[in-house]
Each structure stands twice: as C-alpha cells, then as structure tokens.
Amino acid sequence: MKIFITGSNGFVGQHFKNYCRVNSLEYTAGTQDHYGNLAEPKSEAELQNIRESFKGHSAVVHLANRAHVMGESQCKPNSDTYSKIIKIYNEINVHGTLMLARAARDAGVKKFIFISSIKVNGEENNLNAYCETDPPNPQDPYGISKRDAEIELMKLHTPGVFEITVIRPPLIYGPGVKANFLVLQKISRLPLPLPFLGVKNQRSMIHVKNLIEFILCTINHPRSSGETFLIADENPYSLHQMISELRKCFHVIDWQFYCPTFILRLFFKLLGKDHFNKRLFDNLAIDPQKSKNLLNFSPKYSLKDFSSME
C-alpha cells in the first residue's frame, strides 16, 4: 500500500508523514510541486503531470484545503466581501478537490479519503451530539465549501473501482497546532486562577494520532467505502476539563474558581470578542459510534497524552 498525502506540509500532514516514517508505511508527501495551486485551472499537460504523480498509489488522503479563517463568518452574506470569500473557498475546496479526485481516478487510485470538517454539520448542538444522519447545516463559507465538495465527490464514487470516504473531524490538536487550541494552551500555562470551574459544556476534539489512525483504518477497511464518518476522541471535554488536563501536562497548579457563565459571556462581548463565546462555552459534541460499529475503531489517545506528544 502506498499513500499520496496532499497538503503534507500542513499541521496534520506533518504528523501523518512522521507516523508513516515511524511505522514504515510507504507514502508520497504531496505539495504544490505535484499539483500546483488548487485555485487555478489546469491545462491538459498539467493534469497529465498530476495523474503521473498519482500513479502507483493505492490511496490519496486529501488534506490540502483553504482553511477556516477567524472572522470571515462575521461578514454579511449579501456583501461583496462575502461573495469573494465564497469564491475563494469554492475554487480550492470544491473545484480543486474535484480536479485532484478525477486525476486520482484516472491514474488508477482505488481510494480517495477526503478530510472534511464538523462544520458541515453546524457550529453547536445543545441537545444531542452530532451524528452522520443529521442533515448538513454549515454556517460559514468554509463549512459550505466542504459540504459542496462532499456532495460532488460522492458522485465520483464507484464501488470496487474508485471509492470515496469522507471524514468530518472537529478541532484537531497536537504539537505545532495553532489557532484556537494554541490560545487555550497559552491560557492554561498562566500561573493564575481562572474562572472556568463552573463551565460544564461538552466539546469534542480529536488527538492528531487518533485522526491519522482512523484515516489508515478507512484505507484498509472495505466497509468504509462510500461512507461519511464523524470522528473524535472517546469523550467530549468541558472547558474546565480542558484547562485541567493541559495544566497537568504543563505542570501548572490547576487553580480554577466558579464564575457564572453569563458573566463570562458578557465579559468577552464587552471586549469585542463575542466570537470566543461560542468556542469556549457552547456545546459541539460528536457521537463517533458509527466508526466503532462499522469499522471497529476505538481512539487510543486523549488530552491526557498531550505532554507525551511535545
């Protein structure tokens, strides 16, 4: 088995390459040198070069994408800025993805693993954890582009010939992670009391090694063909639990005190950081039962393993 990894220089891609090296798995570290800028149309000669790059591979793991950018979801849907943002996401996450998938199919690749996002399901769930049977409800251009790519990819699915699998992870954490989780790490390292003792929300995340092992599981398991999976660590975390586990890893005394959540929300709103409220205090939980029932997959790692990853 030989795997072609697109976006191999990204956060997950770097970890995937290292995992393959450690476990003696054959892979190609795909970059723009192989497939160019995904936002740009390709000539027939360029497409042929991409097909040549894919030849001899059993699977393509498609990690390359235009990632979510904080604040873009705040743009008004009818504005020119919003239209431009939608266009950029479509060019890379939809049209670029389909171009690579067709090239992989034409090169004889058997499996195409598409790393989508839980944002296809939505931004929060206050009653039940998200599962695969929930109707898609993306709320921003990134989530919309991932949903549209999923729909178009499944049209290419041909059992036994060219098989598509879609994976929707939540926030992915591990060494080198940036954005929201990096902020959480910085907060956790502060040797100060924090007001999160009473925050009992439920947010799913996934350890990067759990994601990589699940990707490999879908490549090897015949029952992953044509399926969509929501995948996460075994249990969701409250903000209070996240801070506690990270402080243990960083050897910082876990001093947290109670403050009503509505006061915390008001505090961030007055600071002009209202978007933090969703990410810190709302629920976004995933039910990964399908991956267990269909593929017999159980995630091994959790936040408790974070220190061993650094």
Residue 275 has, within 13 A of its CA and on its CB side, a CA count of 8
d(CA 90, CA 210): 28
The pLDDT tens digits for 64-110 are 998 766 555 555 566 667 778 888 999 999 999 999 999 999 999 99
Least Cα distance to 242 among 168, 179, 187 occurs for 187
Residues 89, 142, 173, 237: which is the catalytic one? 142
SS3 236: coil
DSSP assignment of 83-118 equals HHHHHHHIIIIIIIHHHHHHHHHHTT--EEEEE--G
CATH architecture of 2-176+205-234+286-301: 3-Layer(aba) Sandwich (3.40)
Q: What is the pLDDT of residue 78?
A: 63
Least Cα distance to 115 among 61, 76, 50 occurs for 61
Mean pLDDT over 263-287 rounds to 90
Is the pLDDT at 310 greater than 50, yes or no? no
Least Cα distance to 236 among 302, 186, 158 occurs for 302
The pLDDT tens digits for 101-124 are 999 999 999 999 999 999 999 998
Q: Is the dihedral of CA 226, 17, 5, 136 positive or negative?
A: positive
User: Is 142 considered catalytic here?
Assistant: yes
The structure tokens listed for 300 are: 């091994």
Of 72-86, 198-212, 274-288, the range with the highest mean pLDDT is 198-212
Confidence class for position 157, pLDDT limits 50, 70, 90: very high
Q: Could you state, in order of their start, the residue ranges of all structural domains in the chain?
A: 2-176+205-234+286-301
Is the pLDDT at 24 greater than 70, yes or no? yes
Least Cα distance to 111 among 34, 59, 170, 42 occurs for 59
Q: How many residues does the chain have?
A: 310
Radius of gyration, alpha carbons of the chain: 20
> What values do phi and psi take at 251, rounded to 5?
60, 45
180 and 123 in contact (C-beta within 8 Å)?
A: no
Mean pLDDT over 262-286 rounds to 90
